[in-house]
């Protein structure tokens, strides 16, 4: 069994619900395959928010590291901002493989990032007195949004050019073929006005979780997979096991040799 996707665009005066209802009960000509029709709807909440402490110095420092690696890897894989280097290396010894790169990578947006790191990501001098028992390490040092324009530019670049939603750590590799272009997009939420204080461990936990997701995107791009033994420990199933489990979960026995599928309402 396999699935093929297709998208149909109707004229504005078409009764789409009625058309889809008729398609649902039809079969592909010459094949005993039924159509599973889904009406595409606009996303109700396209822009979603992540915690406001993503503005903190320690979160932004980690973001800069992740974004630099991620954008570089994706750009090079797509052949963006690269130019071949001309040079003659005939005089090099044949016994020693050349480690000279054959192309030059120069994305101007990453040049802006270097300046941003030097000017913005230095540990700030506190402009207030510490409370009793409080240390400098307890401060998460919120950075104002106007100083994060370079960071925002990188995040938008990833979302539009490489279809990666950075703050969610998700890649949408076939999004350019989907009806919703640039669907879900996570951004920093507004600064909290409540008295609840974000702790430094919260920021570190966020960095770890997001780091694992971003590394997963990089690993998929590089074709890196985890060992099969390790995959089985975290729930890897064979195709036969997955099909058998799906059938058990989605069929109800109503008598000897008679089954009912709650998903489609059909009897087998």
> What pLDDT score was predicted for residue 95?
53
Reduce the DSSP state of residue 20 to 3 states and report it: helix
Local confidence band at 100 (pLDDT 50, 70, 90 cut-offs): low
Q: Of 104, 117, 48, whose CA–CA distance to 76 is shortest? A: 104
Q: How does pLDDT run across 194-221, given as a tens digit for each residue?
A: 555 678 889 999 999 999 999 999 988 8
CB–CB of 250/261 below 8 Å? yes
Instruction: Quote the pLDDT of residue 133.
Output: 45
How much is the mean pLDDT over the chain? 81
How does DSSP classify residue 82? E
Q: What is the pLDDT of residue 151?
A: 94
Q: What is the structure's pLDDT at 123?
A: 60
The pLDDT assigned to 193 comes to: 59
pLDDT at 88: 56
Q: How far apart are CA 147 and CA 60, in angstroms?
A: 11
Of the pLDDT bands very low, low, confident and very high (cuts 50, 70, 90), residue 242 is: confident
pLDDT at residue 145 in the model? 86
Q: Check whether 4 has a pLDDT greater than 60.
A: yes
Instruction: Please check the confidence at residue 187 and state whether its pLDDT lies above 80.
Output: yes
Share of the chain above pLDDT 90, in %: 31
* 42-96 tens-digit pLDDT: 677 889 999 999 999 999 999 999 999 999 999 999 999 999 887 655 554 455 4
Note the pLDDT tens digit of each residue in 6-16.
778 888 899 88
- The predicted pLDDT at position 131 comes to 44
219-243 burial, b if ≥16 CB within 10 A, otherwise e? eebeeeeeeeeeeeeeeeeeeeeee
pLDDT bucket at 152, cuts 50 / 70 / 90? very high
Q: Which helix (H) or strand (E) holds 260?
A: strand 258-260
């Amino acid at each position: 069994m396999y699935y093929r996707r297709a998208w149909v665009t109707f004229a504005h005066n078409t009764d789409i619900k009625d058309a889809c209802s008729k398609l649902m009960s039809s079969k592909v000509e010459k094949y005993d395959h039924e159509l599973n029709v889904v009406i595409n709807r606009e996303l109700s909440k396209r822009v979603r928010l992540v915690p406001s402490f993503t503005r903190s110095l320690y979160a932004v420092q980690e973001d800069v590291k992740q974004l630099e690696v991620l954008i570089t890897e994706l750009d090079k894989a797509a052949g963006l901002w690269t130019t071949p280097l001309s040079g003659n290396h005939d005089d090099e010894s044949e016994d020693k493989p050349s480690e000279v790169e054959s192309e030059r990578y120069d994305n101007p947006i990453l040049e802006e990032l270097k300046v941003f790191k030097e000017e913005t990501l230095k540990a700030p001098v506190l402009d207030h007195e510490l409370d009793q028992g409080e240390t400098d390490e307890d401060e998460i040092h919120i950075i104002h949004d106007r100083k994060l324009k370079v960071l925002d530019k990188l995040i938008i670049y990833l979302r539009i050019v490489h279809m990666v939603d950075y703050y969610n750590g998700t890649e949408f590799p076939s999004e350019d073929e989907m009806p919703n272009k640039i669907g879900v997009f996570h951004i920093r939420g507004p600064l909290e006005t409540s008295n609840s204080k974000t702790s430094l461990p919260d920021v570190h936990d966020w960095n770890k979780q997001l780091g694992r997701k971003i590394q997963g995107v990089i690993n998929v791009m590089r074709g890196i997979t985890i060992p099969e033994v390790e995959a089985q420990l975290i729930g890897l199933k064979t195709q036969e096991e997955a099909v058998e489990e799906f059938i058990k979960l989605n069929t109800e026995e109503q008598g000897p040799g008679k089954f009912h599928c709650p998903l489609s309402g059909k009897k087998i």
